[in-house]
Every structure is written in structure tokens, then in C-alpha cells.
A and B are shown apart, each in its own frame.
Chain A
Amino acid sequence: MSSTFERLEDVLLDDLFPDVDLDLRRGRHIGQDDGPVYDFLLDAQEHLEHLYRRFGAELVQRTDGYFFLLPTNDRLGRRLLSAGEMLVGQTMALLYLDPSTLQHNRTITRELLLQRLSSLVGTEVLIRTLNPRKRKYDERVAAKTVRKEVDKAIRRLVDLGFTQPVEDDRLQLRPALMRFAETVRGADGSTDALERLIASGEIEDGERHDEHEDDEEVEA
């Protein structure tokens, strides 16, 4: 496909570039729903791939219709999603695949999300995962904490472009959610896919994540 941009300089001088660049560096996933921004990326892809490679990141495009920046080293800064974000993101991905959400133009309520999450993971596991340091808990307080953590995760997933709040407190599910299903998507088994994705740096397993989680908390 021929690009309308002849040189990298033309891309950098485009009005859309600063916002696109900042969004990508902050970890945002840019999808077809973003309209002109997505079209710009599609057009400037070849030039930007080279540019970001020099910063230690890959500009990845997925067939589901979205772009994101994958860090290959720490030059641009990297972050791992938290446990809450992972659980909420995976549940959203499942709802994205569910035909019942089609009826509402791929939007869901927070209540439905919580219900589905709770039924899939189980209340006990959900509370333990989202309150890892609490050995004893009061049911009411724990439920409140879970709701708070889920809200926090949703806010973060909104920032990253996985979902978008729309009217009536509903959430629009975006194609980038399919990243959460990458491990079970291919023809190879989920273990092979997991290893492949770990090798490419797209995901990290639990042990490595603990270190980062601690780092984050220190920073906070």
C-alpha cells in the first residue's frame, strides 16, 4: 500500500502526530473507532515503525483493527497491567465475543461486568486476588473494595484504549480487548501461545510481575 507520506519528516509535521505519539507512548491502543487517528497510523505505519524501533518499541498492528506500541527494552518505559486490570480486561474480552452485547452496539453496564466477573472467578477468589494482603476480611468491606478496584481497573483500561465510557454509564467494548484473548487464540495450545507471547515481550508471567508490582507501590 502506498503511503501519502514520502518522508518521516512529513509524518512528524502532520497535525495528528503529536497526539498519536503521546497516546502510543502512554500505552494507548488506537483502534478503528478512533477514526482519522487510526487512518493516519495506517498511512504513516512504515515510517513510524522505523522511528519507534530506534526508541526500543515495536509499532504493532492487529487484524482486529488496532495499533499499539510494544516495548522491547526499557528506553520508553514499560508497565505491566495489574491483577485487577487483567481480570476485568479478560472479562470484557469475553463479553466482546458474546453475541448478546451486539444488541447494544457492543456496550455493557458495569453491573453486568461485575456479575460476569464474579460468576467466572468466584467471589472468594476475586476478593483474594484484589485484596492480596488481607488475610481476614469483612464481607461488606471486601465487596466494597472489589467494586473500588474494578472501577480503578476500568479507568486504567479506558486510558489504555481498551474500552470507552459512553452515555448512561455504559462501557463501549473496543477491538483492542482481543489482546487479552491472544493466549487462547491460535491453533497451537494455550501453553505454546503463552510461551510465544512471553518470548515476544507482549506478556509476562506472574513471578516477574510481582517485582514490578512492588516497584509500582514504592513509586506510589
Chain B
Amino acid sequence: MTSTSTPEAPTLIASLSRDRVSLELNTYDLCCLAGLYLRADKQALVCFAEEELVDLFEQICEVVEPGAENPRKRATHAIQRLRDQRMLHRVDGAGLTRAGDFGISRLAAAVVEFYLTDEQLTRESLALLTRTLASQLVDIRKAAEQAETDDAWHDQVASPLQVTVGDLVAGIERRQRGLDAAQEEVQSRITELLQEDWFGAIARSEDLLDQTTSTLNELNQVLMSDVHQLTSLLQEIQSLADTAEQEGSQDATQRVQENLDRITSWGRARQATWSEFYQNVHRYLRDVVRLDPDRALSQRLRDQITGWSQQPFYLTTTAAPSIRRLRPVEHRVERPPVTRPSGPRESEPEDVDAEDRRRILEALVLEALAAGENKLSAVTAHVLAQLPAERAFGTTGRIAAIVADLTQPRAAREPAWVRVAGQLEIEQWTLEHDREGRG
């Protein structure tokens, strides 16, 4: 792993989008890259002369598309496509002066390695890898027990954990991907077999299922025993690193443990998925394929669906209604219907006499005072008795204001409330005034 910092996802995505990065490789292009990679590997070459490149591509064209017209031209186009996509790069820097030398880029090598590695995965043994890992961890534990200096911890514990053990764990993960691919292939292969040969495919499908099951047994072994052993070895190393306060070794052990946890959880998930698939296929072979060797049922059902609208029928099921909960009895409430006033909303203006309400009130208050009333409630009651009832509430405050102007009112610290008209109550004041109402 390189030490350069990884760019943030949004930055990377933005830059890929801005540069319109894309990859378009057809089978021929991929074959050319694989051919180049393998020849470079076999002959320890770092680059190819232009003529060599064209010859190789021509040969590959004859293999991939035998009888294709003008293979040289196709090779030239393929080289250009790969150059445009940075799969091939020129290494001589001579420009136009002479034919160039070309090497395959890191990107192209990664693409080819993906296919090569994927192929190798199915041949590796997961058990062998974990056993090797276990023996490495035993050595590291021994080194940890004997390590006394920081350098010893770094060289004999942390580094081997990071590099050797890291590689082995990566190998197991590759193997897992291989198993994933193999499992997926078996699933699609069984489907293909059944579609091609229906009843005749039973035996072969069962064989495929059994093969994958044995692979899963291998996985089980890893899960049940090997990973357990690896984990206990790692715990011992971790414990030694804790005692010696070696942070680098602690971190390295932790990372390996996390990878192992990932492997274990992957295994469990795949096992569950495969188990479900295994049961499903067996049930299918038993209930569908064996009982319908001519595959007539599907055809008859298809015909039934097609003609169903002409001769419909319907399945019956039980449908017990839910238990009814009766609501408490409520008397029916008669609500008055919502209406709006009919007739014109605006009334016609009419002539009325000018009225000075303040003067009328003042005259009535003076009349009450002249009659000898010396309580606000008595004055208010006297005045209100001579006015329409609907004006009582609005007028009470005005009466108090006039009384306050004409007399000298006094109120107790906590004045009493006195009813004056209907529900209307006011504070009681005592009024001091002469017969003419002057306070």
C-alpha cells in the first residue's frame, strides 16, 4: 500500500467527471493486453518495439477473429485505442524521428492481473493459506516473546504482521472472491442446465450442488477451527505488545484481527446464502422437475393464463371478519344547519337626529347626584335604568369617567364589587359632592 494520501471521494468523482474519463475495451483489446502482459512477464521485457507490438496484435487477431480482413489495420487501430485510454504508453520519447517503443501502463497491468488472479483463485486452497498464516503467526509470537528492543519489535513483529501476514490475508480474501464467483457460476450453470435439458439435468445439477457444498465444507473448516486458532495466536501477540507498550505492533495485530473478522463474517453470510440456495434447488428438483418430467406443467399454466380472461375462475379463501367493537351509545345531537343571512347585506342610510351621548350621560349623572346619590353603583344604576340594556356594558365606563370629573371619588384599599344591572358588577366608590354635583 502506498503512503500517499487517498483523495476524498467527492474530489475524485468531480475530477473524473470533469476529465470525462472512460474505459471502453472490447474482447480483442483485452486479449491484446493479456498477450502483451504475458510476453513481457515471460521474456522479462519492459517495453516492445512498435513492429513487435503490431506483429503480436496481428497474431492475436488471427486467434480471436480468425479470417478477419486486414489484421494489420485492426492492430493499428487497437494500438491507437489503447494509447488513447492510457493502457499503452510510449517510453522512448523520440517523437516523430523514429518508430517508438511501448510499455503497458499500471492500469493495463491491473486489468490483466484481475483476470489472471481470478483464474488462479479457484485452484488455491483456503486451508493451505490459513495453515501458512497460522505458522507465520506462531513465528511472530515467538519473536514477540523474545523481543527486547523497539527495533526488534518493529522488524520481527510489526513488519511481518503488516507485510507477510497482510499478504496471506489478502490471499484469503482473493480466494473468497473466487468462491463468490464460483458460487455464482454454479447458480447460473444449474439454471442453464435445467433450461436446456430439464429432467436430464437433475443428476448434473445435483453433482454441481455437491461440488459447491464440498467447497463450503472447506470454508466451514476455516470458520470452525482455523480462524479460532488464528484469533487466539493474535490475542497472545496483542497481549505481549500491550505489556511491552509497542503501539506499532498493537495496531498491526488489530488490523489483522479486523481482517480475520471480516473473513469470518463473509463466510457465515455465504454459508447461509448457499444453504438457502441448496435447499431451494433440491426442493425444486423434487417438487417441480421430477413430478413434471416433460415440463408440460409450465406450458399448460402459460396457456391457462393466456386464455384466463375467456374462461375466468377464482380461488376461494377464508375471510373471517374482524371482531366488531361496538361504540358506546350516543344521543343524536341535532346541529343547526349552517346558513347565511339572506337579503341585502347593506341597509339603506336613514336620517337620524344628531345626538351628543356624552352630554346626555352627563345630564343623567347630574340628575342622580342632585337626587343625593353618593355611591358610584347608585349613580350608575340610576343612569343605566334610563338607557337600553344593550348599551349598559359600554356606557358603565363612561359614567365612571363623568363621575370622576364631577365629584371626588374615594375607594377602599380593596373596593367591594356591587351588582348594578343584570350580571354587570362594578367597583364601589364613595362620592363627595355638593347638591349641584360639584366635588
Contacts and interface: CB of A to CB of B under 8 A. Distances in A.
B315 A80 contact: yes
Contact of A202 (B284, B303, B316): B316
Interface stretch (A34-42, A88-96, A136-144, A145-153): A88-96
A27 B317 contact: yes
B191 A102 contact: yes
A94 B305 contact: yes
Contacts of B297: 97, 181, 184-185
B194 interface: yes
Contacts of B187: 102-103
Given A99-B284, A103-B187, A94 B301 contact: yes
Interface in A145-199: 160, 175, 179-181, 183-185, 190, 194, 198
A27 B322 CA distance: 12
A121 B308 contact: yes
Given A86-B308, A90-B308, A129-B309, A26 B319 contact: yes
Contacts of B320: 25-26, 76-77
Given A97-B288, A102-B281, A86 B314 contact: yes
A175 B287 contact: yes
B313 A206 contact: yes
A70 B194 CA distance: 34
A179 B309 contact: no
Interface string B265-281: 00000000100110011
Given A94-B302, A121-B305, A125-B309, A179 B319 contact: no
Nearest to A63: B287
Given A25-B320, A105-B280, A89 B315 contact: yes
B318 A90 contact: no
A79 B297 CA distance: 27
A205 B73 CA distance: 69
A100 B315 contact: no
A203 B315 contact: yes
Main secondary structure of the interface of B (DSSP, over half): helix
Contact of A121 (B190, B281, B306): B306
B321 interface: yes
B359 interface: no
Contacts of B302: 94, 120
A83 B301 contact: no
Interface string A30-55: 00000000000000000000000000
Interface residues of A, number: 58
Contacts, number: 146
Interface string A80-116: 1111001101110110011110110110000000000
B107 to A, nearest CB: 32
B314 A80 contact: yes
A51 to B, nearest CB: 14
B331 interface: no
A99 B194 contact: yes
A63 B315 CA distance: 18
Interface in B324-372: none
A7 B319 CA distance: 27
Nearest to B317: A27
B15 to A, nearest CB: 31
B328 to A, nearest CB: 24
B214 interface: no
B305 A183 contact: no
A118 B400 CA distance: 88
Nearest to B303: A184
Contacts of B312: 83, 86, 205-206, 209
Contacts of B303: 184
Given A102-B190, A102-B281, A103-B187, A184 B316 contact: no
Contacts of A11: none
Interface string A1-36: 000000000000000000000001111000000000
Closest 3 CB pairs of A and B: A27-B317, A79-B319, A99-B194
14 contacts: A26-B318, A71-B317, A81-B315, A86-B315, A94-B301, A97-B298, A102-B277, A102-B284, A120-B305, A125-B309, A183-B313, A201-B316, A205-B313, A206-B312
Interface of B: 187-188, 190-191, 194-195, 273, 276-277, 280-281, 283-284, 287-288, 297-298, 300-306, 308-309, 311-321
Given A70-B318, A82-B314, A120-B302, 4 more contacts: A71-B317, A76-B319, A99-B195, A206-B313
